[in-house]
Structure 1
Amino acid sequence: MKITILSRSASISSTKRLVEAARARGHQVRVLNPVRVEMHLDGRRANLYYRRRRLPPCDVVIPRIAQSINNYGLAVVNQFAMGGMALVNTARAIAESRNKMRSLQLLSAHGIDIPATVMARDAADLKAMVGLVGGVPVLVKLLQGQEKRGVMVCESLQSLEAALEAILGLGHNLIVQQYVKHSGQDVRVLVVGGKAVAAVRRRPRVGRMSYTLNRGARLERLELTDSQREAAEKTAVLVGLEVAGVDLLDVEEGHPKVFEVNSSPALPEMESATGLDLAGTIIERAEQLATGAPAIGAPERAPAAVPPRRKRASRPRA
């Protein structure tokens, strides 16, 4: 089987693991930097080129699109789909997961518990709405920020106001979210093909309030509860991601809150903590998709109910 991995570099640790796992299963693998892919449309064909050479088709594409090239990268993913190639994560699903407010709206509408969240365009409005998320401290997140730099904790109204004015003044959209202190479990679940295949508890380094894998959290293997498994699996299916890192906060046992969905979760750290071949699991799902297995997709949204028209009262004839 011929597999294409869209990634900035073959030396990135997660990309390297996917290449190793694919070759171990006897597949041909090529890693393409999405920004080096050129696209051609003429109303009849959707052609792809790499450094001005036409790309031969492959069986399946595994996107690992960086946030810094999000718009161009998603256009490339979509072009592969137009060429009839199977995708592990569609452009639509990746875009849905990257817009924090839209993904939270989708989850909330389908009964997934999330931390209290507010969004507004004015700093004064956001400051006034802090009470709706439980007061300070709060998380401030760029709406489409990178996991490494898109989150900050504001512990006072003064620091919040300064952060809001600075960020909004730069033209960035953001959300303010309930900050749940780490009295419970901070969990990342890897979901592949709609099934939770691994989970870790994350403990921040001493003195750090950050919870992200990219900022040095210590990982421990975790056996999921039924409610954690259900929340993670339902989240991935709703967003439409074949491969997803679903981040949960479980403050009260049995009541997990989903606070983030990642379409390109880091693999080596989770593999090291769990002892599992997670890259191999993703390649196995890619094989299934390439051979016609049904893909995960966000369910069709039911159209809004249209109220029945009121009948006009008939006027009495003269």
Structure 2
Amino acid sequence: MTSSNNKIIVGSEEWCSFPALGIPAIKARVDSGAKTSSIHAFNIQTFRREGLLWVSFEVHPLQKDRRTVLRCERPVVDKRSVKSSSGISETRYVISTLIKVESETWEVELTLANRDSMGYRMLLGREAMKGRILVDPELSLCLNEPSKEQLYDWYGQPQKNKSGLKIGLLASNPDLYSNMRLMEAAEERGHEMVFLNIKYCYMKVDEQAPEVHYRGGKILNDLDAVVTRIRPSMTFYGCALARQFESMGIYTVNSSSAISQSRDKLFSLQLMLKSGIGIPTTGFAHSPMDTSDLIEMVGGAPLIVKLLEGTQGRGVVLAETKKAAESVINAFKALHANLLVQEFIKEADGKDLRCFVIDGKVVASIQRTAAPGEFRANIHQGGSASVVKITPEERRLATLSAKVLGLKVAGVDIIRSSKGPLLLEVNSSPGLEGIESATGKDIAGHIIASIEKRLKWERPVSSSVLETL
């Protein structure tokens, strides 16, 4: 569609192509609020060609499909620091290439970024639209939309691999990024994955024939494995279900005992100390009468007050003075809340490390930086994340921490102090969005691969196919 001044009229989403990249069709989110355009890219590698810096990368050109992969190469024209819509700052490579929209072709700049968490594989920003495009936000797909047959010609006929495992995902929210990624990763590798809402599961506790039933009476006895992603408020019942699956001979990731240990913050810290793992000096008391001595025990104010049941940065307070610390501690105690007090590591400067451990190996690590005015690094509350190279000592601390708790999959949080790396906590249901977005790594795929290894399942050889459009 064109206007009277020959500009192309587009809606909020449109199909375009990149001839020089070999991408015949990709659906873009049209966003005039974004300055620069961006394309989904992973496995990003730089190399030299005739003295110039080039970048190679792979693209999933279709939404909700990670099986279809195209490899691209272009010269690097720039490197820029970009803050994504999820608040994560990262340095991205910039390339220049031809874009084709309807019958028009022109040169645009694209930043390379992992857009799995964004939905659209392409974002068309205002710099690429200047002088050529008008946006009508009420419209959608104004231009020529490729048919399924055309997409099949370009990307391959969809096929489903029926020879995989049957895996259950025991969780609470099917729309959570981490859960959607695990479902997607399992299906990519030819497995059948079913979402099991914890609230809809119930069990038959029987010595001869233990069972787990799902809403409607379906018996869940044909699963090969269960991925346990249990939110803190559902720990008791979720672990009971995990134990039931274990009694049925079904492999669980993570086990009920490992999750229970990790959720008891005080017990887990005591286990760490017993294993020689350093932690910030920590105090715990039952009675408000002991508040003053409790504060002195950890070196006085400023200090951290942390609820034992807190997660993702909630229930963590910085008390900057002794009076403030006494007020916070006594207020929590009046509510009969269990809490820890912990020394404040000033030299960390609002930064910590998140190490993602799978099967005893750190597969990815990021540094998280607190938002301005905050003391704790948390990307759920406006903080940022960047790729970081951890030291051998930090790697050892992360893997040992997961091993002590018996976790096959763990997010280990570490803080750098003047005394060396210290363990903050270990998460048995770590989120995938922040670390996948920052590193570009397929962490969900690593988790599914660990199940395959455990069950000695070998992936059959097959060609790349189109799963969904």
- Does the alignment reach a TM-score above 0.5? yes
Partners of 2:299 and 2:343 within 8 A in 1: yes
- Please give the residue correspondences for 1:15-164 in structure 2 after superposition, counting only pairs within 5 Å: 15-51=179-215, 52-164=217-329
Residue 315 of structure 1 corresponds to none
Q: Which has the higher helix share?
A: 1
2:392 corresponds to 1:226: yes
Largest Rg, 1 or 2: 2
Partners of 2:225 and 2:451 within 8 A in 1: yes
2:372 corresponds to 1:206: yes
Runs of 4+ with deviation above 6 angstroms: none
Kindly state the Cα deviation for residue 148 of structure 1 after the two structures are TM-superposed. Answer: 4.0
Gaps of 5+ in 1: 293-318
Residue 14 of structure 1 corresponds to 178
Gaps of 5+ in 2: 1-164, 458-469
Partners of 1:184 and 1:252 within 8 A in 2: no
Partners of 1:60 and 1:289 within 8 A in 2: no
Kindly state the Cα deviation for residue 147 of structure 1 after the two structures are TM-superposed. Answer: 2.9
TM-score of the aligned structures, taking structure 2 as reference length:
0.60
Task: List per-residue Cα deviations over 1:263-291 (Å, max 9, x = no partner).
Answer: 11110210110111111111111112233
2:418 partner letter: E
Residue 434 of structure 2 corresponds to 269
2:415 corresponds to 1:249: yes
Distance 1:184 1:8 in 2: 31
Partners of 1:4 and 1:60 within 8 A in 2: yes
Partners of 2:351 and 2:376 within 8 A in 1: no
Q: Which has the higher strand share?
A: 2
2:297 corresponds to 1:166: no
Distance 1:204 1:184 in 2: 5
Distance 1:207 1:118 in 2: 26
Kindly state the Cα deviation for residue 179 of structure 1 after the two structures are TM-superposed. Answer: 1.2
Distance 1:75 1:35 in 2: 12
2:370 partner letter: P
Distance 2:181 2:314 in 1: 25
Task: List per-residue Cα deviations over 1:3-40 (Å, max 9, x = no partner).
Answer: 11111122110001111111111100001111110111
Residue 195 of structure 1 corresponds to 361
Distance 1:187 1:195 in 2: 15
Kindly state the Cα deviation for residue 131 of structure 1 after the two structures are TM-superposed. Answer: 2.0
Partners of 2:368 and 2:383 within 8 A in 1: yes
1:221 partner letter: V
Residue 183 of structure 1 corresponds to 349
* Farther-moved stretch of structure 1 (162-171 vs 241-250): 162-171
Partners of 1:187 and 1:200 within 8 A in 2: yes
Task: List per-residue Cα deviations over 1:34-77 (Å, max 9, x = no partner).
Answer: 11101111332211100132223211110010111111111111
Distance 2:254 2:365 in 1: 20
Kindly state the Cα deviation for residue 134 of structure 1 after the two structures are TM-superposed. Answer: 1.8
Aligned residues: CA RMSD:
1.5
Partners of 2:357 and 2:398 within 8 A in 1: yes
Inter-CA distance 184–251: structure 2 relative to 1 (3 Å threshold): farther
SS in 2 for 1:244: strand
Distance 1:283 1:147 in 2: 24
Partners of 1:87 and 1:289 within 8 A in 2: no
Count the aligned residue pairs. 291
SS in 2 for 1:140: strand
Distance 2:414 2:407 in 1: 16
Identity %: 38
Task: List per-residue Cα deviations over 1:159-189 (Å, max 9, x = no partner).
Answer: 2112112211211111101111233851010
SS in 2 for 1:130: helix
SS in 2 for 1:129: helix
Partners of 1:184 and 1:250 within 8 A in 2: no
Residue 13 of structure 2 corresponds to none
Distance 1:159 1:27 in 2: 53
1:258 partner letter: L
